[in-house]
Structure 1
């Protein structure tokens, strides 16, 4: 008799593969739907926070959402809102955000330059090196005059070189450079003496590193 072929058993590996693939696809779909819903809810919360002035929390969420919807645009709006609310008491965040915004908007560039521009405040003019409070309106030509000043402004942690001119009416004003660099809220003085034949006025001007005038103060010099 002709031998009959032995029937082969069907392998279950293929079916197991299909089963696992189906389960993974289902789980992936569930995760994607959940994640999409989570992003939408976080996006809506960030918009609500921004509209209520909670800019820091809104910014943190928008940064994590990356390119979801128009999060990048809202992120800039939130940063602008923070800056606008902190111009009178600026902090490191104000500086960080303005650094970014000034390259995108001429208006914020002007805000940046105004906020972080170096400024000089003349505290007093007198004849004492250590006296920053007595402000004289006139001084004798026989004395050395001290111009006491304080520097403010600049970006956080920045230093600047300074120049100055001290001269009397009718004289040519020569630029002199300070030996030290200055940072915000640092102070100093300039000493000068005058030889006069007639009463006149002495001037002191302080300039930034680019020789842009920061401030000026004058005093009457008498015999």
Structure 2
């Protein structure tokens, strides 16, 4: 769990001893419900212990930086989108500025394509799972026909094909090079990814020796 504020939570008046006590008792599902939770040590006043505050609120720093996933390159229409965006761009200005604007236009085209395709894939995935589920419900009451058996097999294969891309994205996000078949669906893999996300998340910033979680103040300091 990430944290911030004071480095030490205990300051002894005898011998100036420092200590860190920043543990919370939580239920096993807490980190699944609040993966970006953090602990903040508040300023101590009359006590020798700093109050510690458990935060579950996630600071919104705006849109995330663009990131290209390797799985996109495996899709048939990615090359078409790239070529069209590159060749159809019309701009003016100095060569370096023209090149920058052209790359920006290509990026926007990819983002728009991915947004549309992501929604399509999710809808298709839900439809395929519903079809497979309905066939399996029918099988509980009567024998399936050859067409239904073949339809279930083909739909399950389509589901695996669509989920393959999502698994590749998860592997790239986690930056684990040793993932084997099946690991991407294990609790360990998902826990690893959540721990990595928590470590990379900005919970706050020390500004003039004061712990600050205000988004605008952090952006201004950065």
Alignment TM-score, normalising by the size of structure 2: 0.25
Which protein has the bigger strand share? 1
Rg larger for: 1
Greater relative contact order (Cα < 8 A, sep 6+): 2
Which protein has the bigger helix share? 2
